[in-house]
Structure formats: C-alpha cells, structure tokens
Structure 1
C-alpha cells in the first residue's frame, strides 16, 4: 500500500516512516523542516530515511500545493506534523497555524478525492490537561496552547468522520522518548548535559511530576496497528502509552546510572501549562488494537544514550 507521513523528518514521524517501509508499504514522506529546533537534526533523520529509499519532500502543509502528494492511490495518511511542546518562544499564532490550519488544509486536499485514504491523526496526552489520566470518552481540559490546538486539530479530523466525508481516527501519545528525541525534550537534553558537563534546567516542582514515559518503538507498534483495523478504528480516539509511571527524578537518576556520572541541576521557575501527571489508560487500545507496550524505561534509555553517542 502507498501511505503518506507528514512530519516525516521529525522524531516520531521518522520512526513511523521506517516501520511502514519495513512492513512493505510505499512511503510518501513530507516535512516543512521548520526551525523550531536545529534543522540539521531533521536532515540527519531525512538522511537515515533516504538510506531506506524514503525521500522526504520539503512541503509546508499551510502554504504549498499538495496535489502531487495527496492522491487517490494513497491508502492511509499518518499526520504527525505539528508545532510541538510547551515553549515560551512559540506564540499562539504558531500553534494555531501549524496545528489547526495545517490540518484543515490537509483535510481540504483529501476531501476532493473520489477515493479517500484512511486518516490517522497523531494527537497528544496534553489534550487532557494538567493531569492526563483519563479515558478517551472523558472530557479533556487542555491547559496549554499546544493542548488546545491539538484538540482542535483532532476534532477537525473526527468531524469529517462524523459527516461521512472520510474515515479517520486519532491517537493520543504519551511522553514519547528514545533515539532521535528532540533536543528540547527531557532525555536528549539530560543525556547532552551529562555527557558534556552542562547543567540541566529543571523547572520547579517537575522532579516529582509523574509520566508514562513510552519508548518510541512501542508507540509505533500502536500507530501501525491501525492498518487492517480501519472499520473498528473509524471515528475513534485511542490512548497510546505505557501504564508504567515514573517521576522525572527517577528518569534523571536512571540516566545518571547509565552514564555513571552525576548531572548538575540548574533550578528554574515553574513552567505554566506543564502537566503534573500523565498515566496512559490503554484499556481501549489493548482491547481493539491488541496494543501492549513492553519496553522498560532503563532499556529504552540505554538505546537512546547509544544513539546520542553515535550521533553527536
């Protein structure tokens, strides 16, 4: 089958593109190579995909012509492209443009096709708000621009399913880590600080935050499990993550154990909109998708440390 992956040069999108190709699918990969973080890191991901025969095309969903990429021979769209995370450097306009308007433009391109691909929207536990422990049918309470705009994007996609304009589902991901994790995220930054003797910025109160830290390949297991289960998934939302909870403090200690060195801490004021707890309730995904994440935190972090040492 021929599938489209948006945000294919990013952390999770690049892994999804590789897995889909390994499963025998033809992957159409696009990314706008935004400067949210160092573009050279996205280029490295794109180079890794090129070695597997996947060319990442430089396409911005908000502005560029999508007619060559959105075609009737696509079986699925996996929509990873987004303005990620919680950043004081990003305005509400950035989140609205990249998360809502880009998604709407992608949907517009799909809507005109006679034969429409199944649309897999990639969402986030930030939709739930400051405490993300809910089931998929409980009301979300987003507390950040990221969470608000990702919820809006999700509902745009599902609205098309409700109107029978296409078939779709949305996957809410929990605290993903592993090789290629963005440099602004917890573990890549921790590893960098530990190996390069830099202080790690720790936001007030965050050491006791609880997280469902989920290894990227376990996430990809869930993403690709939608293929072949489209009738079950249509119009549905699924949580994807591990049920295992760990504090940020435990994560820091685990990286220190792997590196066999102490990491200096630079204490920072609390960050508005940051989640105090995420715990993935995956009962629905386990029942309908056969989803069963297995990777323990230390094992995943050892793989991430190896990747970092080999990359930088």
Structure 2
C-alpha cells in the first residue's frame, strides 16, 4: 500500500513510518519541523528514516498545497501532525490552527478525490478530560485547549465518515513513552536530569497522578493493525494504551533505579488542565483489533535510557 504519514519526524509518527515501511508499504512522509521543541531531534529522526529509504518532506498542513501529497494513489493516511501538549506558552490560536484547521484542509483535498484514502486520525486520551478512564462510547470532557481541539479534529474526521465522504477511524492514545520521546515529556526530562545532575521540575501534586504509561512499540502495534481491520474500524473510535497504571512517583523511582542515582526534585505550581488519572479501557481494541500491549514500565524505560545515552552521548 501507498501510505502518507503526517508529523513523521516526531516521536510516534517516526516509529509508525518505520514500522509501516518494515511491513512492506511504500511510505511518504511530511512534517512542518515546528520549533515547539529542539528541531535537531526531529532531524535525527529524519536521518534515521532516510537510512531506511523514507524521506520526510517539509510541509505545513496549514499553508502547503496539500494536493502535492494527498492524491488518488494514496491508500491510507496516518495523521499525527498536531500542536501537542498543554504548555502554558502555547496559544489557543496555535492549537486551533494546527489541530483543527490543518485537519480540515486535508479533508477538503480528500473530498475532491474519486478514490479516497483510509484516514487514521491520531487522537489522545486528553479528549476525555481530567479523568481519562472512560470507554469510547462515553461522553468526553476535555479540560485543556489541546484536548478540546483534538476532540474537534476527531469529530471532523468522523463527521466525514458518517456522511460516507471517506472511510476512517480515530485512535485515542494513552501516555506514550520510549525512545525518541519529546524533550518536554516526563521520561526524557527525567533521564536528562538524572544523567546530567539537573533538578527535575515536578508540578505540585503530580507525583500522585496515575497514568497508563504505554511503550511506543505497543502503541504502534495497535496503530498499524488498523490496516488489516479497515471494515470494522470505519467510523469507529479506539482507545490504545496499557491497562497497567503507575503513578508519576513510581515512574521517577524506576528511572532512578535504572540510572543508579537520586534525582533532585524542584517543585512547580500545578499545571492547569493536567490529567489526574489515565487508565486505558481497551476492551474494544482487544476484541476488534486483537490489541495486546505487553511491555512493562521498567523494560520500556530501560530501552528509553539506552536510546538517550546513544543519542546524546
């Protein structure tokens, strides 16, 4: 199959592009190389992909001529590109334009095609709100601009499927970690602080937060399985994550154990919109996609530590 991956230079997008290529698909890839975090990390990812024959083109979904990337010879699109996180210095306009308008521009192009690609929208557990423990059929209650705009993007895609204007699905991912994780995320930051004797900024109360920390390759297993289950996935939402819950405090202790060091903690005020609990209910994905994440937290973090040491040596 010919597959387009947006946001392919990022954390999960790069792993998915790699996996799709390994499965024998012809992968094209785009990314806007946003300065939201250090661009050199995305460049490292693109170099890794390029060595496997996957070239990541620079294109911003908000402004580029998308007909150059979305055409009738594309069989599927995996849409990762988005304004991520709940950073205080990210404006509502950046979430709105990157998450809603960019998605709509893609759908506008797809609508003009006679043969339409299967559209896999990559969503987030932040859609559920402060307590992300719900099934896909329960009403979401997003509490951050990120969650609100990702829910809107999801509903744009599903609205097209309900009108039979395309076939597609939306996948809500839970607390993904592993090699290539963004530098603003929990574990890359923790590892950096532990190895380089820096204080770790911990938001007040977050050490008690419960998370379905899910290893990236387990997430990719679920994402790519959609290709083999397009009929059952069409117009549906799926949670992807692990059912195992760990507190942030447990995550910190696990990194300290792997590194053999004690990480200095620097307390920061609570972050508005942050989730107090995520627990992936994956009954639907287990039943319909045969989804079965298996990687334990320590095993996954050992792989992430090895990646960090190799990348930043």
> When the two structures are superposed, what TM-score results if normalisation uses the length of structure 2?
0.99
Verify: 1:227 aligned to 2:227, yes or no.
yes
Q: Displacement of 1:135 after TM fit?
A: 0.1
Question: Secondary structure of the residue that 1:226 maps to in structure 2?
Answer: helix
Verify: 1:311 aligned to 2:311, yes or no.
yes
Q: Displacement of 1:228 after TM fit?
A: 1.9
Residues 27-58 of structure 1 show CA distances to partners (whole Å, capped at 9, x for unaligned) of: 01000000000011000000000000000000
Verify: 1:25 aligned to 2:29, yes or no.
no
Question: Secondary structure of the residue that 1:74 maps to in structure 2?
Answer: coil
Q: Displacement of 1:109 after TM fit?
A: 1.1
Q: Displacement of 1:78 after TM fit?
A: 0.2
Deviation beyond 4 Å, 4+ runs, structure 1: none
* CA–CA distance in structure 2, aligned partners of residues 79 and 16 of structure 1: 11
* CA–CA distance in structure 2, aligned partners of residues 107 and 68 of structure 1: 14
Question: Secondary structure of the residue that 2:291 maps to in structure 1?
Answer: coil
* CA–CA distance in structure 2, aligned partners of residues 86 and 256 of structure 1: 26
Residues 63-102 of structure 1 show CA distances to partners (whole Å, capped at 9, x for unaligned) of: 0111121011111000000000110110000000000000
Residues 133-163 of structure 1 show CA distances to partners (whole Å, capped at 9, x for unaligned) of: 0000000000000000000000000000000
Q: Match of 1:8?
A: 8
Kindly report which structure 2 residues correspond to 1:52-201, keeping only aligned pairs within 5 A, or say none: 52-201=52-201
- Once superposed, what is the RMSD of the aligned Cα atoms? 0.4
Q: Match of 1:207?
A: 207
* CA–CA distance in structure 2, aligned partners of residues 244 and 31 of structure 1: 32
* CA–CA distance in structure 2, aligned partners of residues 59 and 111 of structure 1: 20
* CA–CA distance in structure 2, aligned partners of residues 270 and 89 of structure 1: 15
Verify: 1:243 aligned to 2:259, yes or no.
no
How many residue pairs get matched?
312
Q: Match of 2:266?
A: 266
* CA–CA distance in structure 2, aligned partners of residues 12 and 229 of structure 1: 21
Question: Secondary structure of the residue that 2:66 maps to in structure 1?
Answer: coil
* CA–CA distance in structure 1, aligned partners of residues 227 and 284 of structure 2: 16
Gapped regions of structure 2 (runs ≥ 5): none
* CA–CA distance in structure 2, aligned partners of residues 229 and 152 of structure 1: 24
* CA–CA distance in structure 2, aligned partners of residues 225 and 187 of structure 1: 26
* CA–CA distance in structure 2, aligned partners of residues 237 and 246 of structure 1: 25
* CA–CA distance in structure 1, aligned partners of residues 211 and 301 of structure 2: 15
* CA–CA distance in structure 1, aligned partners of residues 151 and 14 of structure 2: 23
Gapped regions of structure 1 (runs ≥ 5): none
Residues 157-186 of structure 1 show CA distances to partners (whole Å, capped at 9, x for unaligned) of: 000000000001000000000000000000
* CA–CA distance in structure 2, aligned partners of residues 204 and 8 of structure 1: 33
Question: Secondary structure of the residue that 1:57 maps to in structure 2?
Answer: strand
* CA–CA distance in structure 2, aligned partners of residues 46 and 176 of structure 1: 20
Question: Secondary structure of the residue that 2:33 maps to in structure 1?
Answer: coil
